[in-house]
Amino acid sequence: MQYKAGRKRVVIEGVTPEIDGGDFAIKRTVNETVIVEADVFTDGHDAVSAVLQYRKAGATTWDEVPMQPLGNDRWQGCFKVTEIGRYQYTLATWVDHFKSWRQALAKRTQLTDIVLQLQVGAQLIEAVAERADEEDAKRLREQAKILADKGDLHKRLTIALEDEIALLMDRYPDQQLVTRYDKNLSVIVERVRGRFSTWYEMFPRSCTLVSGQPGNFNTCEDRLPYIAAMGFDVLYLPPIHPIGHIHRKGKNNTLVAGAEDPGSPWAIGAEEGGHKKIHPQLGTFKDFQRFIAKAREYGIEVALDIAFQCAPDHPYVKAHPEWFRWRPDNTVQYAENPPKKYEDIYPFYFETDQWEPLWDELKSIFLFWIEQGIHIFRVDNPHTKPFPLWEWLIAEVKKVAPDTLFLAEAFTRPKVMHRLAKLGFSQSYNYFPWRNTKQELIAYFTELTQSESREYFRPNLWPNTPDILPEYLQFGGRPAFMIRLLLAATLGASYGIYGPAYELMENTPRDLGGEEYLDSEKYQLRHWNITRTDSLKDFIAQVNQIRKDNLALQSDWSLRFYPIDNDQMICYSKWTEDLSNIILVVINLDAHHTQSGWVELPLERLGLKENLPYQVHDLLSGTRYLWQGYRNYVELNPQIAPAYIFSVRRRVRTEHDFDYYL
Amino acid sequence: MQYKAGRKRVVIEGVTPEIDGGDFAIKRTVNETVIVEADVFTDGHDAVSAVLQYRKAGATTWDEVPMQPLGNDRWQGCFKVTEIGRYQYTLATWVDHFKSWRQALAKRTQLTDIVLQLQVGAQLIEAVAERADEEDAKRLREQAKILADKGDLHKRLTIALEDEIALLMDRYPDQQLVTRYDKNLSVIVERVRGRFSTWYEMFPRSCTLVSGQPGNFNTCEDRLPYIAAMGFDVLYLPPIHPIGHIHRKGKNNTLVAGAEDPGSPWAIGAEEGGHKKIHPQLGTFKDFQRFIAKAREYGIEVALDIAFQCAPDHPYVKAHPEWFRWRPDNTVQYAENPPKKYEDIYPFYFETDQWEPLWDELKSIFLFWIEQGIHIFRVDNPHTKPFPLWEWLIAEVKKVAPDTLFLAEAFTRPKVMHRLAKLGFSQSYNYFPWRNTKQELIAYFTELTQSESREYFRPNLWPNTPDILPEYLQFGGRPAFMIRLLLAATLGASYGIYGPAYELMENTPRDLGGEEYLDSEKYQLRHWNITRTDSLKDFIAQVNQIRKDNLALQSDWSLRFYPIDNDQMICYSKWTEDLSNIILVVINLDAHHTQSGWVELPLERLGLKENLPYQVHDLLSGTRYLWQGYRNYVELNPQIAPAYIFSVRRRVRTEHDFDYYL
């Protein structure tokens, strides 16, 4: 094997990004850049050249960009992805004898040596002319002739060292000696919303202005201006399908439902139908269509919840008993996600012999809703279904609708969550709800934004969900809700809240020490008074507007934390690559007391100068401060405002000696 | 693709050790252990089982050991390699329904539930009985029947939860559902000397007791008792072939040789022959045979230098002009390893069309010397020859002589050196000669012994070579030579010196600021007075004896550095896995002044107790100290002894209340 490639002298190693040896694609959104690096080196002391090759999957030819050496045998190249879909990239490299020759020539000092080298160069050029196209070959031969001739030495040296021949020579490396990287690595390119999105979760059935009366798609339509005013662009609905009656849950997750209890929307399926039907109380398909069209007018995209599981009275159970695992007593063990028990839900039996028809049916559920105009799915507990299913399903769905986005709701062990992201989920729930202290936040978000996992794992930050009312929110009052929203909205380019519980600061748990809401909407109708004067809706609107106005907050990789000499305060920045937009966030994590401290900034990295003042403009209060030097004082009273979201502006002096801040 | 494997629910990721996705083998020596880890997990909450499989390459069946969970979805298993050659290992894992069932059963509390579960278990067992061998099937069916029957519940539970069935069930996982790791990873197993070796380099032609008279294999034979007394087990000779006359180097690397100048042994080949001949002055093949046989009697293995390059008068140059790159003026550019120039040497032209016959010839050189009884080769500048050559060559040679060891003499950029190690070199020269300060030593040896590279890169530490007289030795006097030897001998399980220059503390450089020896043996005969009373030979003998007596010093991976509050002092330990041998080294790196400080030891890790004294026995001076607690005082005067090599012994109290130190 190696014998055959005995003259391919250049080695390619340590290619990044490359996930699990190329088994999985990295992710980008449209117009982002892919920076590829590799160790490239050969034996001995010859010069090497390397190119990065890339193409849209399916294309038969590669585009090519030269790679540049970074030192220590590391090389880098980059390309931009401009379309949704799959791209591929790989590398090629070779010993560049002409480059070696030029470098050697430039060092020669003895006349006989130089003349001999010019002859060697002429030979190299002649050899390349053999495989060049006609025009290039002609030019190469002309120049080779001059080099080998006994003409004006200065002229010959000039030709040898100028770029013209080098560029021609570069076009024709000896393919027999080129080392090609043996893998085509993949990039999944998604639309920008895959990276930057602002989610609002809402139970349609609670969406009403009158208490006790169930909401529907029409009342949801009326709620759209309210949601749009807060600045959300994805409206995610829990399952909208018929709800099972058998083992239906009662209020507060009790095992016996009253006659009026609506049941959990995740107990999908009843006599009216299953995953491809709408709960009659919510309206018709026509209502649904009108609702999502109206949402679109408000700049809001509706996302649906896909939960692969069935109430015991789901039509699948009778039609396809082979998709469930029956016990000797003709029952099915209900679903669990320990410590949670779903007595009202049957899990699918994915080890069934009939798994292929089952997979096809599950795929048809996605395709059905895509047909209805839904292109974002929040997938319920994907970690309790086989990994190969997701890899196949997401790829299959994207064949039909490449712009589809998938959010993985897997709150489980880290490696399982990472695997799901590798398999293709666009975004992932994560441990943010349980990262509260400065140390926890810095450690976790450094991992999320600076480690290799950022190539495939895009976090979507939720300070609450219908399942999670974190302790911090239970006891921190209004400042706690502001703080957690600020963290989510500025640490995460994608974040979401479950409302109106969030903006109305619902904070009573069902059990002390637990994270379940008391009187959770999962099991009963709730009426929310969204006009309450203490609502956080205006604050949320302001924060979301800041996100829209500042590109720096629309991606995650630039996140950097800075020292601040108070453990209750956290400070971090995000920037655009050209530093035209720099956002500096300072948050008091203590919901109860005023805290203050000295922030330390890396001025040079921020494009600032030690001896020039710069402006930090708090986009929340509108206040502008002039700071100078790397160390500055901050103080935050959580009862007034628990955070600064500074826009950092450097001073610019105009020709008229008039200063302003850019 | 994924579709087909849709029911293989368990994932295997992050397997270690695995070098470059399995492209390269890890290295071990006979009777070492391979510890394999992997992330193993499935969807949902079922239990999984995993086995590590291994075999000698060529075997058709795998041996198997169960893997154990370490937490966080990480699993571990290990196996021992007992023979020289190549081993393979891989993993298999599956959802273990029976294990899940037992775990669930153990949690059930309701009688009806338990009865139902026992029936479920009986079904699982019946299913496995279908694919079990006759005897096992019979037993499984018996037990299944009891579980499903309405007999004594206690008895049924006992059967269910005892290990007998579990062990039977473990033998027959459903192969359709087993996830097999898709790679067979490799281990190259070498003899123990690959890991633990003590080298002495010597120019045979200088090996004489009389000045001016060239040495030969007979005089080398006389020198063997001297070398053996110092405790070396590998005697490495620079090239022993005829030396070219054309462009022969004179004394101190001058370009014109005098009539008496013997030339550089690396300028291989003259009219008498090339790589398969012995320099007539050194003796005959018969002399050589007698010499290496005699060495063997002293426990010394002779290693040869293989340098793939030719003097201009090497017979290859005429016989195979196609193996060299001719310039338009019918000359060959001499070899270089910048900044070094070898005007007396032609490099091979590895891009020649005739590279295959060239490779075959190079291989035949190794096989020729193996035939002569040489099984250790020090390879000269392997980084100036193509990488594929080495991968092929080492594998080919090992097919003939699996116990052959190769030491790579590549002092070059780190990635190139690592690549050569991956390709199969048993040991590697490294940056030790230029790592002098505490910070440098800690950083470099932590990298060498604790990073992934230790799996394939075995350092061999040389405080000097004929090419390298480091500055530290030029100016530090006798203590410097002692310190660098101590570092090499205790940091490295393999180390070597170039003698007698080393034990005679030769320290004059050719040029100020350079590292070349004045009057280097590379270009002239030297006469060494090995009987000098200030020779370090007895000190070296003592250090090498300590290495032989202490298993801890015979491998590298256990190396740990400890704090000591003096930047001129370094402290580290090596141990055997069972802590039966713990060596603690303290060295004063300052060759000029007495230094002292407080050492801090991790008592628990060393098997010591805070409240019990322990003994540190200096194997150099014989002195024993009683230490207690984690912090102890040390002081070293380099003029007396620049180091302690402590054997650490914990106190044992016998039944007769008599204390001793183990």
A220-241, pLDDT tens digit by residue? 999 999 999 999 999 999 999 9
* A380 labelled catalytic: yes
Which residues does chain A have within 8 Å of residue B39's beta carbon, measured at their own beta carbons?
A: 415
Question: Do residues B12 and B51 touch, judged by C-beta distance below 8 A?
Answer: no
Q: Has residue B3 got a pLDDT over 50?
A: no
Chain A nearest CA to B566, separation (Å): 30
Q: What is the pLDDT of residue A660?
A: 67
pTM, full prediction: 0.95
Q: Has residue B313 got a pLDDT over 80?
A: yes
Work out the angle at residue B83's Cα, subtended by the Cα atoms of residues B77 and B84, and round it to the nearest 5 degrees. Answer: 115
Q: What is the pLDDT of residue A109?
A: 83
Contact B350 A413 (CB under 8 A): no
Task: Report the C-alpha gap between A517 and A536 in whole angstroms.
Answer: 19
Q: What radius of gyration do chain B's Cα atoms show?
A: 31
Chain A nearest CA to B42, separation (Å): 8
Cα B35 to Cα B17, B32, B65, B94, B635, distances in angstroms: 8, 10, 11, 20, 39
Q: What is the pLDDT of residue B658?
A: 64
CB pairs under 8 A between A and B: 138
Cβ neighbours around B152 below 10 Å, total: 10
Interface test with A, best of B3, B10, B43, B331 (most A CBs within 10 A): B43
Contact A419 B3 (CB under 8 A): no
Kindly report, residue by residue over B256-274, the tens digit of the pLDDT: 999 999 999 999 999 999 9
Task: Report the C-alpha gap between B378 and A327 in whole angstroms.
Answer: 68
Which residues does chain A have within 8 Å of residue B327's beta carbon, measured at their own beta carbons?
A: 116, 119-120
Beta strands per DSSP E along B329-403: 335-337, 340-342, 346-347, 376-380
Q: What is the pLDDT of residue A363?
A: 98
Contact A45 B336 (CB under 8 A): yes
- Chain B contact present for A47, CB below 8 A: no
Work out the angle at residue B253's Cα, subtended by the Cα atoms of residues B247 and B254, and round it to the nearest 5 degrees. Answer: 65
Which residues does chain A have within 8 Å of residue B11's beta carbon, measured at their own beta carbons?
A: 387, 419
Which residues does chain B have within 8 Å of residue A15's beta carbon, measured at their own beta carbons?
A: none
Q: What is the pLDDT of residue A1?
A: 37
Instruction: Out of A3, A44, A327, name the one closest to residue B384 (CB).
Output: A44
Residue B555's contacts (CB-CB under 8 Å, 6 or more residues apart) are: B195, B196, B493, B574
- Chain B contact present for A338, CB below 8 A: yes
| Helical spans, DSSP H, in B245-314 | 285-297
Contact A9 B384 (CB under 8 A): no
Which residues of B carry out catalysis? 380, 409
Cα B139 to Cα B115, B135, B144, B159, B434, distances in angstroms: 21, 6, 9, 12, 68
For each of the domains in chain B, give its residue range(s) and CATH number, in order of start.
Answer: 1-96+176-190 (2.60.40.10), 97-172 (1.20.58.80), 560-661 (2.60.40.1180)
Question: Which of the 8 DSSP states describes residue A403?
Answer: T
Query: Which tokens go with B497?
Result: 């010196």
- Chain B contact present for A44, CB below 8 A: yes
**Phi and psi angles of residue B396, each rounded to the nearest 5 degrees, phi first:** -65, -45
- Is the preceding omega at residue B500 within 30 degrees of 0, hence cis? yes
Q: Has residue B1 got a pLDDT over 80?
A: no
Question: Which of the 8 DSSP states describes residue A242?
Answer: -
Contact B3 A355 (CB under 8 A): no
Q: What is the pLDDT of residue A137?
A: 95
Task: Report the C-alpha gap between B434 and A28 in whole angstroms.
Answer: 44
Q: What is the pLDDT of residue B2?
A: 43
Contact B386 A43 (CB under 8 A): yes
Instruction: Out of A120, A351, A389, name the one closest to residue B177 (CB).
Output: A351
Give me the amino acid identity at B640: I
Give me the amino acid identity at B320: H
Q: What is the pLDDT of residue A655?
A: 67
- Secondary element (H or E) of residue A617: strand A614-618
Chain A nearest CA to B39, separation (Å): 8
Three-state secondary structure readout of A296-334: HHCCCEEEEEECCEECCCCHHHHHCHHHCCECCCCCECC
| Helical spans, DSSP H, in A372-503 | 387-400, 414-423, 438-450, 471-475, 477-491
Selecting among A380, A515, A556, A590, the annotated active-site residue is: A380
Contact B419 A45 (CB under 8 A): no
Q: Quick one: average pLDDT of B16-39?
A: 98
> Which residues are registered as beta bridge partners of A304?
A237, A377
Query: Which tokens go with B601?
Result: 């030891």
Instruction: Out of B13, B329, B338, name the one closest to residue A45 (CB).
Output: B338
Question: Which of the 8 DSSP states describes residue B251?
Answer: G
Chain B nearest CA to A263, separation (Å): 24
Query: Which tokens go with B102?
Result: 């037992």
Contact A43 B385 (CB under 8 A): yes
Q: What is the pLDDT of residue B558?
A: 98
Helix (H, G, I), strand (E, B) or coil at B241: coil
Residues of chain A with pLDDT under 50: 1-3
Residue B44's contacts (CB-CB under 8 Å, 6 or more residues apart) are: A383, A384, A385
Selecting among A409, A506, A515, A521, the annotated active-site residue is: A409
Contact A387 B11 (CB under 8 A): yes
Per mean pLDDT, which range of A527-531, B45-49, B153-157, B220-224 is the poorest? B153-157
Q: What is the pLDDT of residue B657?
A: 63
Beta strands per DSSP E along B72-184: 74-80, 85-95, 179-180
For residue A43, which of B391, B532, B551 has the smallest C-alpha distance? B391
Give me the amino acid identity at A415: K
Q: What radius of gyration do chain A's Cα atoms show?
A: 31
